[in-house]
Amino acid sequence: MWCVVWKFARWTQWSCTFLLCFSLTGCLTEGTGSEDQTEIVAVPEEAPVDTPILTPPERTLCDPFSAGSSAQDRGLIGNLLYLTDDQPRYSSVTDYMENATPIESTLYFNQLYVPTRKFDLGFYRQDGTLVLNQNDEPIYEYFALRMESQFTLAAGDEEGWYQMAVLSDDGAMLRERLDDNSLVTIVDNDGTHPTRMGCASEAIYMDHNSARNLIFEYFQGPRYHISLVVMMRKLEAGEDPANPDMDLQCGKAGNSMYFDYNQVPSAPTATYYDMLTRGWKALNNENYYFPEQANNPCAVEDPLVITNFSIVSSTRTEVTVSWTTSLPASSQIEVKDVIAGSVESSSLDSTLKTNHQVTFSGLSANTLYSVKGLSVSDGGQEVSSSESAFRTPR
């Protein structure tokens, strides 16, 4: 407990020194679409370490991308910065971190899953007012985020060596803070570029007792597209952790390569689904923990959360999936033919339960599909799992 509090206090001290400890209220939105599974909330700058931080509504940013539930103790803490008109248009994360102007912000993120999308309206406060720069203009380009979290394995993640990757537009750096306070770069995906997959050149070992202190730094350069998705894959048997195999997508870029931003919300492409079949997974809220003394004021007291979503089996014509929910809820799955784009749903099982298993029939052989679980609690909370992809046998 002391170690966690000390690290948070150290990070807060850095924020106060570098960012002058401002606070921002509001919600992040954009004009042409919305994405789920990410949210931001502000926290007070100081609070007794043995007292949960409860942010008053006037200083809270909630749920900028969707109305999904979030957990009290999981997420990332971050800061927001922007370039003024008289500053150079930097093209590296380090330049943004060292020179950008801080907006009054200490933020919490639910997770980092922002598929390629258009972003052209800026940041909104909860009272509906728009956050403006020094020229009274909305901020939708040339801004940066610095985020920190304890990275852990989710209950359904296997222990072992993992390669990390980041899909980002524009630049992003993923680093680990070691016990001596030094930083080691895990993924370097820096620079001004369309959505590009940056992959780690070395793997990290994770078990269910591991908690790595990760730093995520990101900047958005010129308008209009943004993207930030943190991913991982478990190494195959025989792979060298010091020199893991590079996925065929590592280093490849394109704003339409991984997600179709013309759809609302942005839809994964066949390229992205193929990555999932090769073992890649987007980190979700279960993989991020922020300091214990920080509570999320936007979290539902008893949120409906899906965990352990997995494909149990698949044949040429059917697939069976299972998952668990934190509250008794209904069961249904949504299956998408990735190439054809058609989507079908299973029959709704309205029996409220926490352990779910659904089989869907009528699939075609040698076809790439994605699947996700859907549940609704008795109180009306709705939740969907992350998507998994599979290809039916020939």
- With 90 as the cut, is the pLDDT of residue 23 above it? no
Please give the CATH superfamily to which domain 306-391 belongs.
Answer: Immunoglobulins (2.60.40.10)
CATH class (in words) of the domain with range 2-289? mainly beta
Q: Which two tokens stand for residue 353?
A: 């339960």
Three-class SS of residue 130?
Answer: strand
Closest CA to 93 of 204, 32, 197, 174: 174
Q: How many CB atoms lie within 10 A of CB 209?
A: 8
Please name the residue that has the structure tokens 């008109």: 85
Decide if 204 contacts 168 (C-beta within 8 A): no
Dist. CA 393–CA 356, nearest whole Å: 25
Give the C-alpha separation, 306 to 298, whole Å. 18
Tell me the mean pLDDT in the region 368-387.
90
Question: What whole-number percentage of the chain has pLDDT above 90?
Answer: 54
Q: What is the pLDDT of residues 108-136, one digit of tens each?
A: 777 888 888 887 756 655 455 666 777 77
Q: Provide the pLDDT for residue 293.
A: 52
307 pLDDT more than 60? yes
Q: What is the mean pLDDT of residues 129-152?
A: 82
Is the Cβ–Cβ distance between 243 and 195 less than 8 Å?
no
d(C-alpha 191, C-alpha 80), whole Å: 18
Q: Is 7 helix (H, G, I), strand (E, B) or coil?
A: helix
Residues of the chain with CATH 2.60.120: 2-289
Q: What is the mean pLDDT of residues 67-94?
A: 81
pLDDT of residue 109: 78
* Averaged pLDDT of the chain: 80
Over residues 239-265, the mean pLDDT reads 93
Of residues 314 and 290, more confidently modeled = 314
Tokens of 10: 């150290």
Query: What backbone torsions phi and psi does residue 171 show, to the nearest 5 degrees?
Result: -75, 150
Least confident of 42-51, 246-255, 370-379: 42-51
- Cα(342)–Cα(352) distance, integer angstroms: 28
- pLDDT for 36 equals 41
Q: Over pLDDT 70: what percentage of the chain?
A: 75
Q: How far apart are CA 230 and CA 71, in angstroms?
A: 19
Cα 49 to Cα 8: distance, rounded to the nearest angstrom: 10
50 pLDDT higher than 50: no
CATH 2.60.40.10 in the chain: give the residue spans. 306-391
Q: Which amino acid is at 351?
A: T
pLDDT recorded at residue 2: 33
Quote helix, strand, coil % in the chain, to nearest 5.
Answer: 10, 40, 50
Higher pLDDT: 188 or 135? It is 188
* E strand or H helix that includes residue 383: strand 382-384
Q: Residue 9's pLDDT is what?
A: 35
pLDDT (average), residues 170-178? 95
Q: Is the pLDDT of residue 66 over 80?
A: no
260-282: buried (b, 16+ CB within 10 Å) or exposed (e) per residue?
A: bbeeeebbbbebbbbbbeeebbb
What's the pLDDT band for 215 if we cut at 50, 70, 90? very high
- Say which amino acid occupies 282: A
Identify the burial level of 306 via C-beta atoms within 10 angstroms of its C-beta, where 0-12 means exposed, 13-18 middle and 19 or more buried: buried
Q: What is the pLDDT of residue 297?
A: 62
Average pLDDT over residues 236-261: 95
